[in-house]
Amino acid sequence: MSEVAHVVKIGIADMNVVKAPNLIRTCGLGSCVGVVVYDLGREIAGMAHVMLPDSSLSKVDEVNVAKYADTAVGALIQRVIRAGGRTNFLKAKLAGGAQMFQFRSASTDIMRIGPRNVEAVHEQLRRFNVPIVAEDVGGNSGRTIEFNPKTGMLLIRTVNQGVREI
Protein backbone atom coordinates (compact mmCIF):
# COMPACT_ATOMS: atom_id res chain seq x y z
CA MET A 1 0.00 0.00 0.00
CA SER A 2 2.07 2.86 -1.29
CA GLU A 3 -0.54 5.45 -0.41
CA VAL A 4 -0.11 4.82 3.30
CA ALA A 5 1.10 8.06 4.78
CA HIS A 6 2.14 6.73 8.13
CA VAL A 7 1.33 4.57 11.11
CA VAL A 8 0.20 6.39 14.21
CA LYS A 9 1.54 4.58 17.25
CA ILE A 10 -0.23 4.79 20.55
CA GLY A 11 1.43 3.97 23.86
CA ILE A 12 0.21 2.40 27.05
CA ALA A 13 -2.86 4.14 28.52
CA ASP A 14 -3.09 6.29 25.41
CA MET A 15 -5.61 6.87 22.60
CA ASN A 16 -5.77 8.51 19.20
CA VAL A 17 -7.85 8.79 16.04
CA VAL A 18 -6.75 8.36 12.40
CA LYS A 19 -8.26 8.70 8.93
CA ALA A 20 -7.35 6.56 5.91
CA PRO A 21 -4.82 6.07 4.44
CA ASN A 22 -3.12 6.24 7.83
CA LEU A 23 -2.97 3.21 10.09
CA ILE A 24 -3.09 3.06 13.87
CA ARG A 25 -1.05 0.65 15.94
CA THR A 26 -0.26 -0.33 19.50
CA CYS A 27 2.48 -2.72 20.57
CA GLY A 28 2.90 -5.37 23.22
CA LEU A 29 -0.60 -5.81 24.61
CA GLY A 30 -0.57 -8.32 27.45
CA SER A 31 -3.33 -7.98 30.00
CA CYS A 32 -4.13 -4.61 28.43
CA VAL A 33 -6.88 -4.37 25.84
CA GLY A 34 -6.62 -2.57 22.52
CA VAL A 35 -10.08 -1.35 21.53
CA VAL A 36 -10.86 0.09 18.11
CA VAL A 37 -13.98 2.13 17.35
CA TYR A 38 -14.47 2.94 13.68
CA ASP A 39 -16.80 4.24 10.98
CA LEU A 40 -15.94 2.24 7.89
CA GLY A 41 -17.88 4.50 5.51
CA ARG A 42 -16.02 7.58 6.66
CA GLU A 43 -12.73 5.64 6.97
CA ILE A 44 -12.11 6.93 10.47
CA ALA A 45 -10.86 4.86 13.39
CA GLY A 46 -9.87 5.47 16.97
CA MET A 47 -7.85 3.14 19.17
CA ALA A 48 -7.30 3.06 22.93
CA HIS A 49 -4.77 1.01 24.89
CA VAL A 50 -6.67 0.25 28.10
CA MET A 51 -4.73 -0.91 31.16
CA LEU A 52 -7.28 -1.29 33.95
CA PRO A 53 -11.01 -2.07 34.07
CA ASP A 54 -12.38 0.72 36.21
CA SER A 55 -11.38 4.25 37.20
CA SER A 56 -12.50 3.56 40.76
CA LEU A 57 -9.17 1.71 41.05
CA SER A 58 -7.38 5.04 40.76
CA LYS A 59 -5.89 6.40 43.96
CA VAL A 60 -5.53 9.94 42.60
CA ASP A 61 -8.12 12.50 41.55
CA GLU A 62 -6.65 13.30 38.19
CA VAL A 63 -7.46 10.37 35.96
CA ASN A 64 -5.91 9.58 32.59
CA VAL A 65 -9.14 8.64 30.78
CA ALA A 66 -7.37 6.37 28.28
CA LYS A 67 -6.12 4.12 31.07
CA TYR A 68 -9.44 2.79 32.36
CA ALA A 69 -12.04 0.89 30.35
CA ASP A 70 -14.97 2.75 31.93
CA THR A 71 -13.59 6.16 30.91
CA ALA A 72 -11.67 5.24 27.75
CA VAL A 73 -14.46 3.76 25.65
CA GLY A 74 -16.79 6.76 26.00
CA ALA A 75 -13.96 9.23 25.38
CA LEU A 76 -12.80 7.26 22.36
CA ILE A 77 -16.30 7.27 20.84
CA GLN A 78 -16.47 11.04 21.41
CA ARG A 79 -13.17 11.58 19.62
CA VAL A 80 -14.18 9.43 16.65
CA ILE A 81 -17.43 11.37 16.34
CA ARG A 82 -15.62 14.69 16.61
CA ALA A 83 -13.32 13.56 13.79
CA GLY A 84 -16.36 12.91 11.57
CA GLY A 85 -17.57 9.46 12.59
CA ARG A 86 -21.35 8.88 12.64
CA THR A 87 -22.87 7.60 15.88
CA ASN A 88 -25.10 5.00 14.24
CA PHE A 89 -22.39 3.62 12.01
CA LEU A 90 -19.79 2.96 14.69
CA LYS A 91 -18.46 -0.54 15.11
CA ALA A 92 -15.81 -1.97 17.40
CA LYS A 93 -13.04 -4.57 17.33
CA LEU A 94 -10.83 -5.49 20.21
CA ALA A 95 -7.83 -7.60 21.09
CA GLY A 96 -5.71 -8.33 24.14
CA GLY A 97 -6.70 -9.17 27.70
CA ALA A 98 -4.35 -12.12 27.91
CA GLN A 99 -3.38 -13.87 31.08
CA MET A 100 0.39 -13.90 30.67
CA PHE A 101 1.08 -15.42 34.08
CA GLN A 102 -0.88 -17.89 36.18
CA PHE A 103 0.31 -17.21 39.71
CA ARG A 104 -1.79 -19.83 41.37
CA SER A 105 -0.34 -18.74 44.69
CA ALA A 106 -1.00 -15.02 44.43
CA SER A 107 -3.87 -13.84 46.55
CA THR A 108 -4.44 -10.68 44.56
CA ASP A 109 -6.94 -10.09 41.82
CA ILE A 110 -4.14 -8.56 39.77
CA MET A 111 -3.39 -11.69 37.82
CA ARG A 112 -6.92 -11.85 36.46
CA ILE A 113 -6.68 -8.29 35.18
CA GLY A 114 -6.79 -9.33 31.49
CA PRO A 115 -10.24 -10.98 31.56
CA ARG A 116 -11.52 -8.17 33.76
CA ASN A 117 -10.36 -5.58 31.23
CA VAL A 118 -12.15 -7.45 28.44
CA GLU A 119 -15.39 -7.66 30.45
CA ALA A 120 -15.23 -3.95 31.26
CA VAL A 121 -14.68 -2.97 27.61
CA HIS A 122 -17.61 -5.18 26.55
CA GLU A 123 -19.83 -3.55 29.12
CA GLN A 124 -18.95 -0.03 27.95
CA LEU A 125 -19.45 -0.86 24.26
CA ARG A 126 -22.84 -2.29 25.15
CA ARG A 127 -23.67 0.85 27.08
CA PHE A 128 -22.96 3.02 24.02
CA ASN A 129 -24.65 0.56 21.63
CA VAL A 130 -21.51 0.00 19.59
CA PRO A 131 -21.58 -3.54 18.15
CA ILE A 132 -18.46 -5.71 18.39
CA VAL A 133 -17.70 -7.06 14.93
CA ALA A 134 -14.72 -9.20 15.89
CA GLU A 135 -12.38 -9.81 18.77
CA ASP A 136 -9.29 -11.80 19.69
CA VAL A 137 -9.02 -11.82 23.45
CA GLY A 138 -7.68 -13.97 26.27
CA GLY A 139 -5.07 -16.66 25.86
CA ASN A 140 -1.56 -16.23 27.21
CA SER A 141 0.27 -14.41 24.41
CA GLY A 142 1.24 -10.81 23.91
CA ARG A 143 -0.22 -9.07 20.86
CA THR A 144 0.71 -6.17 18.61
CA ILE A 145 -2.27 -4.81 16.72
CA GLU A 146 -2.71 -2.51 13.75
CA PHE A 147 -5.98 -1.20 12.36
CA ASN A 148 -6.66 -0.02 8.83
CA PRO A 149 -9.61 2.42 8.72
CA LYS A 150 -9.96 1.94 4.96
CA THR A 151 -10.54 -1.82 5.07
CA GLY A 152 -11.81 -2.12 8.64
CA MET A 153 -9.36 -4.96 9.25
CA LEU A 154 -7.43 -5.45 12.46
CA LEU A 155 -4.04 -7.06 12.04
CA ILE A 156 -2.90 -9.08 15.06
CA ARG A 157 0.67 -10.25 15.51
CA THR A 158 1.70 -12.73 18.21
CA VAL A 159 5.05 -14.36 18.89
CA ASN A 160 4.00 -17.97 18.44
CA GLN A 161 0.95 -17.84 16.20
CA GLY A 162 2.21 -15.38 13.62
CA VAL A 163 -0.06 -12.81 12.00
CA ARG A 164 -3.79 -12.89 11.42
CA GLU A 165 -6.54 -10.48 10.50
CA ILE A 166 -9.97 -10.09 12.02
Partner 1 sequence: MSYFDRMNAVHIDILKEIGNIGAGHAATALSKLLNKKIEMTIPDVRIISFDEMMDIVGGADHVVAAVFLRIEGDAPGNMFFVLSLPQAERFIQQMTGDAQFKLTSECSELSLSALQELGNILAGSYLSSLSDFTKLNLYPSVPELSIDMIGAILSYGLIEVSRVGDCVIVIDTAIHEEQQPDDRVNGHFFLLLDPDSFNIIFRALGVESNE
Q: Catalytic annotation on 27?
A: no
- Name which of 89 and 101 has its Cβ closer to partner 1: 101
Length of the chain: 166
Q: C-beta of 89: minimal distance to partner 1 in Å? A: 31
End-to-end Cα, the chain, rounded Å: 19
**Shortest gap between Cβ of 12 and partner 1 (angstroms)?**
4
Q: How far apart are the C-alpha atoms of 162 and 166, rounded to whole Å?
A: 13
Cα 74 to Cα 111: distance, rounded to the nearest angstrom: 26
Q: Which stretches of the chain bind partner 1, using CB under 8 A? A: 11-14, 27-32, 51-52, 57-60, 64, 67, 98, 100-106, 108, 110-111, 113, 141-144, 157, 159-160
Catalytic residue among 10, 23, 32, 35: 32
User: Is 40:19 a contact under the CB 8 Å cutoff?
Assistant: no
Closest CB 105 distance from partner 1, rounded Å: 5
